[in-house]
Structure 1
Amino acid sequence: MSRRSGYRAAEQEDRQVDLMGDSDFDDDEYGQPIESKEDTSAVDVKKGKDIQGIPWDNLSFSRDRYRKTRMVQYANFENVPNSGKNSEKVCTPVDKGALYYEFQYNTRSVKPTILHFQLRNLVWATTRHDVYLLSQRSVLHWSPFASEKHKVIDLQGHITPSEKHQGNVSEGFYQAQVSTLAVRGNLLVAGGFRGELICKFLDREGISYCCKSTHDDNGITNSLEIFEKPSGSVHFLASNNDCGVRDFDMEKFQICNNFRFPWAVNHTSLSPDGKLVAIVGDNPEGLIVDTNSGKTVHELRGHLDYSFASAWNPDGRTFATGNQDKTCRIWDIRNLSKSVAVLGGNMGAIRSIRYTSDGRFLAMAEPADFVHIFDVGSGYRRKQVVDFFGEISGISFSPDTEALFIGVHDRTYSSLLQYNRLRFYSYLDSAI
C-alpha cells in the first residue's frame, strides 16, 4: 500500500484524516444539523424518503445536481498517475439497468468506521441476521432481525487473551487500531496497524489469542481470510505490508507457513479447493501461488496500478481482482494469459469484492458512493448499480445470498445499508 510506495508519510496521514473523517461531501451546507436521525425502511422509500434520510427538499441543491458535482470533484487516489483514465478504454460494455437486490433497511444505530483509506474489509455477515463491523473504537455485532447491537471487542483499553496458548502475547495490546477484519463461522480475527492479530471465538468468553505477526515498522495488517483445511482445522491467512503472507493454524494456535513476496501484499484470497491463492499488492501484476510451496504458478498481467481486493468464484475456475485503476478484472484459471472481462467503476478504485455463495452475483465496491452488482451468468454484461453518498467501509453478502450489507462511513450519515435479494422466479432459482 501507499506507505511503501514513495507516498510521503505526512501526506498519507493528511489524506487518512480527511477520508476517515468523512467523505468529501461534508461541506457546511450538506453537513448542517438535521432534525431527524431515524432509520429508513423500504416502506419509507416507497413514500418518497431518501434511503439515507438525506432531506434533499431542505437543501439548496437537488440530489441529481449533487451527484453530478461529486462525480467531477471526487479525486481517486492513484499510485500510478492516470491509471484510472487509461483503463477506461478496455472496459467490458455493460447494461446497467438490472435489479437483483432491493433496498430493505438503513440503520443509523451503528456507525461504520474506516481507519485506513485504502483498506475496506470491515463489514462481515455470518447470517442474514448477524453482521460484524468496526464501529469507532469497537468491533460490534448488529442484529438486523432484533435491531440490537453489542460490543464484541472493546478496542479502547487493554486487550488481553483469556486463554493460554504458545505464542500468545500474554500482556495483550493497548488501544489497538484495527485496519482489517474477517469473520467466518465462530471465529473473528481483527488485524492492526502494528501487525497485531486479535482472535476471538464467538461462542467463547474473552479473547482466545493475541500475537504480533510482524515486528516490522511497516507491518500493518492489510487483509485476513479465514478458511477450513480438508482435515477440518480452521486457519487464516494474514497479509501484511512487510511483504509477508502468514498461515495461522487456529487448532494449534501457531504459524505454519510464512511466504515472502517482493512487494507489500494488500489482499489474498484462497481458491475453493484450497490449492491456490491469489496475491495482489503494491504492484500492477498479481500472482497465483501454490498454497503448499508458496511458489508462483502464474503472473496476472493487465492492471495498471496497485490492487487491494480479490475474490474467487465458488465455481473454482474464475476469480476477480480489484485495482486503483478503477477496474475489477475477471480471470479464468484455465487460461491466465489475459483477463476475460474488465469491469469499470464510476469514480474510484475497486477496494472490495464479494461473490455470492452460489456464484451467481459479484459485488464490487468503490471507495465511496457506488456498489456494482454483476450477473455472472451474463458474462458480467448486466449489472445493478447501488447509488448513495459516503465512504464505504465494507460490503458483505449473507452466506444464504439473501442479503447484502454495505457499511457507510460519514460524519453525518454513517449507517449500515441492507439490500435483500429479489426472487421474481424463486421456483426457477431453486431448480438452477
Structure 2
Amino acid sequence: MAIDVNGNNLAIADSDGAVKIIRLPDLLVVAEFTKDKLDTPTAIALSPDGKLLAVANQRHIVFIFDLTLGSEVNSLEGHTLQINSLAFSPSGRYVISAGLDKTVRIWDVSVRQKTPKLLVGHSAGVLHAKLDSTDTLALTASADKTSRLWDVGTGQEISRLNGSDRSILLSRFTADENRILAVSEDGTIRTYAKTLNDLLKLAQQRVTRGLFCKERVQFLFEQLKCP
C-alpha cells in the first residue's frame, strides 16, 4: 500500500497481481493495472505529485506507470532477489529500491534511466530505503542490524548506525531531517543524530561541561594522547 504526499491517491496491490489507484476521500477506483507481467507485487510507491506509480514484482523488476496516460513508461532491471522497498524521492525525480540481494539502487525516472546508482555494503538483505529532500543522501535499513547513511553522488557509506541486536525494519529522517529514526525488529525505535555536527549540537544542549580528553577520543574520534 502507498499514498501520495498530498493524501489524494492510495495505491493497493492485490495478491493476484492487480494494483488499484483509489481516489481519496471518496474511495473511487480511478485506475487499475492487471498486466500479467506484474505477477505478485512485492513493493509499490506513488510519486509525490501522484502522477507516477512504481511497482516491483517477484521477478525483481520495477515497472513505472504514468497514471495520467494509464500506461507503462519504463521497466527497471538489476536486482537479483526480492525487492522489499520502493520509494520516490521528495522531488519525484528518483526511485530508490532495496532488495534481499543486499543492494540499493537509485533510478532517475525523470529521464527514464536504465542504469542506476548502486549502493553496496550491507551484509544482509536491505529492508527499507529512503532519500532526503535534497536527493543527496540515502538512508537504508537492513537485516544486518544496521541503518546506514549514504552519499548518493559517490555511492559511499557516510555513517553506520548500530545498537540493535535484531533486523532494522525501517529507517527514516525526522521532519526537519536533523535526526534519523530506526525501527527494529526487537520492538524499539532509536533516534540518531544525522551528522557529527548534529551530534555535537545535541551534546552541547545536554552537557554543561567540556569533554575530558578520553571522552573526546571516544566520542569525537580526535587523535589525542591522553594522560
Distance 2:197 2:168 in 1: 29
* Identity across the alignment (%): 21
User: 1:415 maps to what in 2?
Assistant: 188
TM-superposed deviation, 1:280:
0.8
Amino acid at match of 1:398: T
TM-superposed deviation, 1:399:
2.2
Q: Is the 8 A contact 1:374 1:382 kept in 2?
A: yes
User: 1:104 maps to what in 2?
Assistant: none
Is residue 313 of structure 1 aligned with residue 89 of structure 2?
Answer: yes
Deviations 1:69-105 (A, max 9, x none): xxxxxxxxxxxxxxxxxxxxxxxxxxxxxxxxxxxxx
Correspondences of 1:27-426 after superposition (within 5 Å):
224-228=1-5, 234-262=8-36, 263-333=39-109, 334-339=111-116, 341-376=117-152, 378-388=153-163, 389-410=165-186, 414-422=187-195, 424=197
Q: 1:353 to 1:261 in 2, by over 3 A?
A: farther
Q: 1:417 to 1:283 in 2, by over 3 A?
A: same
Distance 2:91 2:155 in 1: 15
Deviations 1:306-341 (A, max 9, x none): 2121122223322211122111111122152322x2
How many residue pairs match? The answer is: 194
Distance 2:189 2:95 in 1: 27
Secondary structure of 1:283's aligned partner: coil
Amino acid at match of 1:289: F
Secondary structure of 1:424's aligned partner: helix
- Please, which runs of 5 or more residues in structure 2 have no aligned partner? 199-227
TM-superposed deviation, 1:369:
0.3
TM-superposed deviation, 1:291:
1.7
Distance 1:257 1:327 in 2: 31
Distance 1:422 1:346 in 2: 20
Amino acid at match of 2:190: L
After TM superposition, the score normalised by the length of structure 1 is: 0.41
Distance 1:385 1:268 in 2: 27
Q: 1:384 to 1:240 in 2, by over 3 A?
A: farther
Deviations 1:129-168 (A, max 9, x none): xxxxxxxxxxxxxxxxxxxxxxxxxxxxxxxxxxxxxxxx
Deviations 1:172-193 (A, max 9, x none): xxxxxxxxxxxxxxxxxxxxxx
- Please, which runs of 5 or more residues in structure 1 have no aligned partner? 1-223, 426-432
TM-superposed deviation, 1:347:
2.4
TM-superposed deviation, 1:355:
1.7
After TM superposition, the score normalised by the length of structure 2 is: 0.75
Distance 1:337 1:346 in 2: 23
Amino acid at match of 2:33: F
Amino acid at match of 1:364: T
Q: 1:369 to 1:352 in 2, by over 3 A?
A: same
TM-superposed deviation, 1:417:
0.6
Task: Say which structure, 1 or 2, has more relative contact order (CA 8 Å, 6+ apart).
Answer: 1
Q: Is the 8 A contact 1:364 1:371 kept in 2?
A: yes
Distance 1:365 1:345 in 2: 12
Deviations 1:94-118 (A, max 9, x none): xxxxxxxxxxxxxxxxxxxxxxxxx
Q: Is the 8 A contact 2:127 2:169 kept in 1?
A: no
Amino acid at match of 2:4: F
TM-superposed deviation, 1:382:
4.1
